[in-house]
Structure 1
Amino acid sequence: MAPYHARALPHDAVSAVDIARWAALEAQALEPNAYASPHFILPALRHLDPGSPAQIVFIEQEGAAGTAAPQPAAVFALRRQRGNKVLPLPHTEVYQSMHSFCGAPLLAQGHGVQAWQRLFAHLRSSSPWSFALVIRNLEQGGEVHRALQRACDAAGYRLHDSAPRQRAMLLPEDTGPEALKRNLRKQHAEVERCKRRVAEGGELGWHIHRDAIEPRVVEDFLRLEHAGWKGEEGSSLRAHPAEEAFFQEMVRGFASEGRALFTELRLAGQTIASTSNLVSGSTGFAFKVGWDPAYRKNGIGILNEAELVRNAPQVIADLQAFDSGAEPASFIEKLWPGRRSLITSIVLFNRPAHWALQAVQWARDRAQRRQAGAPSDAPEAQAKAG
């Protein structure tokens, strides 16, 4: 087997050829992830984290006899951390922006274990100060996680996984008119009543845009996402010029490959609810939602999402799953009954990293016991009990 090597570049030095190979890898990745796409990572670093010392590391396998161009076995976006609440020692993180909801790096099928191993070797030689590698929002038991486990076992590194949390997913078996009734149960009738009430104001239509995304579609989304409490609290994309610039550039990149997806609820020719979504491989990724606060009582955001479930067999039949990007207890959990478990994985390179992580866990457990009103044991007592 041809050897693997690591090639690290500042994010602003990645060439057009590199981006094309990165995008080609994304299309065939072991585990799809739109948030690891060059169309997401590079705009995020330019606009959301300017000045970040992030690097893009290409793990490449040489062509036969050195005659063919090296092919990427993986692409990692990495950022150094001096220490944070995850681990209070210097470490390296797989980069995620403030708007990233999944953390799996892109690995080529058949190269996952080797790519992780080569990354470990690269970090140990180029960043000897780095005590660990942190990957947040990784699917527990997914292809990337399993490759990581095997690579850690082979390298002799301890892998720590956090407690999992659940994320709502839309799967093909949970789509269509009958599935929508089943998902919503007693609330289905109320959703239909709200739909009829909104339609009293004019012709009500639902639309999906996947190929060419018109500027009007993007503008309507940004306007609605900024409306209401998000705009008032300053948490919308439009409230921050850098975030809007990121979104515009990111959407253009995905749309250039037919991988941006917007849904709209339009009343009398005006958009009153909109969602922005991304596609990577055979998986969709929900990004942001917006709706006109004048129709809040009628739940038009839910109506828009319900129409996607109803029409999915026709409009997204090519997708095997749709990740909601939602936090637990979100309204989307009833509409999208599928689940995936997400964890934070930490590759501990040495004993100090292991001890530091144990200290963090002990402090967190102690704080939880105090909050619950239970007595906390001293570290010495825990050690004796162990």
Structure 2
Amino acid sequence: MQIRLIPLAQVTRADAEAWQRLADAALEPNAYLDPRFLVPARDRGAQAADLQLVVAHEGGQWLGVLAVTVKPVAPRVPVRATTTGGAFMTSHADRHHPLVRADRAAEALAALLDGIRSVGLPGLVQLQHFPADGPLARALAEVVGRRSGPRVHERRRRTTVCAPREAVTVLPVPEGPGPVVDPPLSWDHMRTDERRNMRRGVRGLARAADGPLELHDRSTDPDVDDEFLDLQVAGWKGDPARGGAALRLDPVAERWFRAVTAGFRRDKDLLALRLAAGGQTLWIGYALRSGSGYFGFLDAYAQAHARYSPGSIGRVATMTYVFGTTDAAVFDPAFDARYTVGARLFPSTRDRVDLLVATGGAVARTVLRAAPHAHRLGLAADRAAVGG
């Protein structure tokens, strides 16, 4: 197995095709490491200019890929690390874990980690938001458990929410043509008071808009992108004074958004849903399919109806629609449990960890040895173990 280092700006069409085949067959899918999400980012200027791909391959077949940048390991530590948490990934990608082929997972993961120094990157690696359990965590545990395996230290852990198919009551979704009126909502996993509040929200929206709630599948219609951008900028995100970051305010970000939706739409892997009533748009949300899962991307709601929580209704409707109309194994809304309003909508949680990995070299090994005592250095060490 060979290792390549490819600056994102130099990804060729052949590279992107091999990358896509890997994303489709990944052990754990990650829409944020899908080429249709990342390749358009090379036009985002300085924010993604330092993004590089570490690729494990055999001939034209990609077996593993990791998106990295190089930066100091901590503000007061004069040591540079290879990290999955660069500027673009931290701002726009909620999942950073690598893609590895399901049938050669441990082998590909070992090759990625072992090959980092061989392509000129620092041997100290920060793996951000790595799954603490599941098949990818088991693959890492196998790699670390080998006699010559890398040393690993867990810096921090956070709980995220998710919706595996088996944890959701899958409801039938009526087929078109036309919208789904009074759309089904998979909420059996929610607390009684949460379901009651959502029912009130549904009734309140119908009263306020003078019509029943409707769910429109606009996935194949590129015009929905303009409707979404207009809806987003009309809310608080359109006000820079309030910290808004509406895409309409940044032409570069808007072009990236359009390129991402166009790529996933082309492959029928884009889900764009519009929640409406009485002819009024109440919410628009996007989800991206990569491999066996759907991932939340962006959404926006009509601020005039905020008291009825159209965003929460739209997110539950999306989860219901995904499982009712596709064979996806998981819907990942892509936020963590600290967002308590959104977290209550989904049935399951999953821990993700930030790891320091010493793949070789005296400096990397020294940092790992110091990590359990390095709070004063800003390493925020929590526990010296691989999550799992």
Shared fold per TM-score greater than 0.5: yes
What is the Cα deviation at residue 56 of structure 1? 2.4
Greater RCO, CA 8 A, separation 6+: 2
CA shift in 2, pair 1:359/1:220, >3 Å: farther
2:356 aligns with one of 334, 346, 351: 346
- Counterpart selection for 2:232 from 210, 225, 239: 225
2 CA distance for matches of 1:86 and 1:116? Answer: 30
Could you say which residue in structure 2 is the equivalent of 1:204? Answer: 212
Candidates 271, 281, 291, aligned match of 2:291: 281
User: Does 1:328 find its partner at 2:337?
Assistant: yes
Alpha-carbon distance between aligned partners in 2 of 1:312 and 1:124, rounded to the nearest angstrom = 41
Q: Structure 2 unaligned runs (5+)?
A: 172-183, 381-388
Q: CA RMSD in A?
A: 2.8
Moved more, 98-107 or 297-306: 297-306
> Contact conserved, 1:80 with 1:92, CA < 8 A, in 2?
yes
**Taking structure 1 as reference, are residues 305 and 125 closer, same or farther at Cα in structure 2, changes over 3 Å only?**
closer
In 2: Cα distance, 1:86 partner to 1:295 partner: 46
Equivalent positions of 1:87-98 (< 5 A) are 88-94=78-84, 96-98=89-91
Q: Structure 1 residues 295, 23: CA separation in 2 closer, same or farther (over 3 Å shift)?
A: same
CA distance in 1, matches of 2:237, 2:130: 28
Tell me, yes or no, if the aligned pair for 1:174 and 1:183 is still in contact at 8 Å: no
Per-residue CA shift, 1:250-293, capped at 9, x if unaligned? 11111111111122211222322111111111111112221111
Contact persistence 1:194–1:299 (CA under 8 A): yes
Q: Distance in 1 between matches of 2:54 and 2:317?
A: 40
What does residue range 79-118 of structure 1 map to in structure 2 within 5 Å?
79-85=69-75, 88-94=78-84, 96-118=89-111
Any residues of structure 2 matched to 1:32-181 within 5 Å, and which? 32-47=29-44, 49=46, 52-62=49-59, 70-85=60-75, 88-94=78-84, 96-127=89-120, 130-154=122-146, 155-172=148-165, 173-175=167-169, 176=171, 179-181=186-188
Compared CA separation, residues 268 and 296, structure 1 to 2 (3 A): same
Aligned counterparts of 2:370 and 2:244: Cα–Cα separation in 1: 36
TM-score, length-normalised on structure 1? Answer: 0.83
Partner of 1:266: 276
Q: Give me the whole-angstrom Cα distance separating, in 1, the residues matched to 2:37 and 2:267.
A: 13
**Matched residue SS, 1:164:** strand
TM superposition shift of 1:83: 3.8
Deviations 1:142-180 (A, max 9, x none): 322322232233333201123321111123232346851
- Counterpart residue type for residue 80 of structure 1: V
Aligned counterpart in structure 2 of residue 364 of structure 1, from 365, 372, 375: 375
Task: Identify if the C-alpha distance between structure 1 residues 184 and 58 changes in structure 2 by more than 3 Å, giving closer, same or farther.
Answer: same
1:182 Cα offset (Å): 4.2
Q: Give the letter for the 2:111 counterpart.
A: R
Q: 1:345 to 1:206 in 2, by over 3 A?
A: farther
Task: Measure the CA separation in 1 of the matches of 2:189 and 2:133.
Answer: 28
Provide TM-score, normalisation by structure 2: 0.82
- Where 1:225 maps in the other structure, the secondary structure is helix
Corresponding residue for residue 10 of structure 1: 7
Taking the aligned partners of 1:163 and 1:58, their CA distance within structure 2 comes to 26
Are residues 5 and 181 of structure 1, via their aligned partners in 2, closer, same or farther at CA, if it must alter by over 3 Å? closer
Aligned length: 356
Q: 1:49 to 1:325 in 2, by over 3 A?
A: farther
Larger radius of gyration: 1
1:196–1:120 distance in 2 versus 1, CA, 3 Å: closer
Contact 2:155/2:379, CA 8 A, preserved across alignment? no
Give the match's secondary structure for 1:146: helix
Q: Give per-residue Cα distances to partners, 1:301-331, cap 9 Å, x unaligned.
A: 1222233345454234x11111111232321
Q: Deviations for 1:207-247, whole angstroms, at most 9, x for unmatched residues?
A: 353752x2221122222233322222232333322222211
Aligned-partner residue type, residue 209 of structure 1: D
**Closer/same/farther in 2, CA of residues 160 and 272 from structure 1, 3 Å limit:** same
Question: Which sections of structure 1, spanning at least 5 residues, go unmatched?
Answer: 63-69, 370-386
